[in-house]
């Protein structure tokens, strides 16, 4: 087992005045990874090499964790709206969403909110 797996260099986006770090690599259809609490995107390091062989992978440091600044409110709707704004800023229109722990709460809220928005 390779214990020296590295994530790509961190990038930074500023969404609504809030700086967030993210990692990006690979090509193909996009998959966005959301980590849990109290973790960082580093938890994806062991699956990253395989995922980026097949996907354009983005791992977002959740607001308030890792090297990302906190949002004024940390509820799942606020964070899911932040993720939506992140996708809009990076012009990501279609993607798979993979989440762990609290990141899954955000992912479900994101998907539910997207479904509500697409029905109007």
Q: What is the pLDDT of residues 59-84, one digit of tens each?
A: 999 888 888 888 888 888 888 888 89
Pair of tokens at residue 45: 């390091």
The pLDDT value recorded for residue 117 is 45
29: DSSP letter? S
How far, in Å, CA of 91 to CA of 49, rounded? Answer: 24
**What is the model's pLDDT at position 78?**
85
Confidence of residue 107 (pLDDT cuts 50, 70, 90): confident
CA distance 108 to 22: 20
pLDDT above 90: residue 56: yes
pTM assigned to the model: 0.86
Structure-token pair, residue 85:
């704004």
């Amino acid at each position: 087992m390779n214990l020296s797996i590295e994530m790509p260099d961190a990038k930074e986006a500023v969404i609504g005045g809030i700086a967030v770090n993210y990692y990006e690599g690979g090509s193909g259809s996009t998959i966005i990874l959301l980590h849990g609490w109290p973790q960082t995107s580093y938890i994806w390091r062991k699956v990253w090499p395989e995922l980026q062989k097949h996907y354009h992978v983005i791992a977002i440091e959740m607001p308030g964790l890792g090297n990302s600044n906190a949002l004024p409110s940390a509820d799942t709707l606020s964070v899911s709206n932040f993720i939506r704004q992140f996708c809009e800023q990076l012009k990501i229109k279609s993607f798979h969403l993979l989440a762990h722990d609290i990141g899954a709460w955000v992912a479900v809220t994101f998907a539910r909110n997207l479904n509500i928005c697409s029905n109007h």
